[in-house]
Structure 1
């Protein structure tokens, strides 16, 4: 494989993996009755609408159809792609859910 082809393959793989990360985040939100677009806006208030996130939201299924997305998985993929601000917002949501359970 030539250098240019290798670089193009690496870029395609990164984009595919990034798309999967966005879908994992969006499905995790749906599974926990959270709005992925609102959480994203909370994490990145100065960014314009995220077309990739909107596409991922369109691909999500209801939480009754979806498999579980563990908290650790969504936090791991967000961190892997450098979405620390979004991981922080997700962590806050996890903590809120934990407090609600403790009060029940």
Structure 2
């Protein structure tokens, strides 16, 4: 494999992994009765129309059919991709949900 092919494969792998991260975020939102577009918009107001997010939302399933996504798992995945702003918004939502349970 030459350098160009290797670079192309690395980019494709990153994009696929990034799409999986977005899907995990969207499904976590569905599982917690939250609107992924609203949370994403709070973190990134300049990117309101995000095609990758919309594609991920289309792939989510009802929370009754979904597996559990632990809060820490989502936060770790967001951090891995440098989505600190979104992780901050998610952390606020986690705190709010824990507050409502008390």
TM range (shorter): over 0.9
Deviation, 1:47, is 1.8
**For the residues of structure 1 that align with 2:48 and 2:42, how far apart are their CA atoms?**
12
Deviation, 1:46, is 1.7
Please show how residues 1-40 of structure 1 align to structure 2 within 5 Å: 1-40=1-40
Determine the structure 2 residue equivalent to 1:82. Answer: 82
Runs of 5+ unmatched residues, structure 1:
none
Confirm or deny: 8 A CA contact 2:40 2:48 kept in the other structure: no
TM-score (norm. length: structure 1): 0.96
Deviation, 1:48, is 3.8
Confirm or deny: 8 A CA contact 2:31 2:68 kept in the other structure: yes
Runs of 5+ unmatched residues, structure 2:
none
1:12-56, Cα deviation, whole Å (9 max, x unpaired) = 100000000000000000000000000000001122410000000
Residues 33 and 46 of structure 1: CA distance in aligned 2, closer, same or farther (over 3 Å): same
